[in-house]
Structure 1
């Protein structure tokens, strides 16, 4: 228990609760992404490209979106570099080895 406020959880309690929440949310995100043949790497690539529109021109933006989808799908489930995407997802993006 914490020595201060009874309603305030201790650092250990916060850490445990946060750990469970983080694990549960990672599982939910992974499950959701896998339904669409994605992993964190492929989704991240697509999202990054989508957020960096170069022009307001719909044709140029469409080409950029297509390139982002293609590169992202390469790292997704069943993609040419799907194993690399999964490896990056497990080792880098989740912070575990």
Structure 2
């Protein structure tokens, strides 16, 4: 069997790391009824709170949570969230 080149070793290690980290992240998110899609939506909405007004930011966070929950496990669009997570979202 031929020895692996340094680049092949790096790619192999990187691939193993990426798949392991994806599994860890997915497992952690599933404990909270989330998937990458629902978490990403919620996080994006939190990142865009720039008004400084607690009421406006609270409404924005509430909308983000509601939409994120819809794409989470057991949500109305949970299957779409899982599909997007597995098919479109990658590290």
TM-score by length of 2: 0.92
CA separation in 2, counterparts of 1:45 and 1:66? 12
Q: CA RMSD in A?
A: 1.6
Match of 1:69 in 2: 65
Q: In the alignment, is residue 80 of structure 1 matched against residue 76 of structure 2?
A: yes
Query: Take 1:87 and 1:74, find their aligned partners in 2: how far apart are those partners?
Result: 14
Divergent runs of 4+, >2 A? none
Which entry has the higher C-alpha Rg, 1 or 2? 1
Encode CA deviations 1:8-59: one digit per residue, 9 max, x unaligned: x710000000011001000000000000000000000000000001400011
Gapped runs of 5+ residues in structure 1?
Answer: 3-8
Residue in 2 aligned with 1:32?
Answer: 28
**TM-score, L = length of structure 1:** 0.87
Bigger relative contact order (CA 8 A; separation at least 6): 2
Unaligned segments of structure 2, at least 5 residues:
none
Q: Which structure dedicates a bigger proportion of its chain to helix?
A: 2
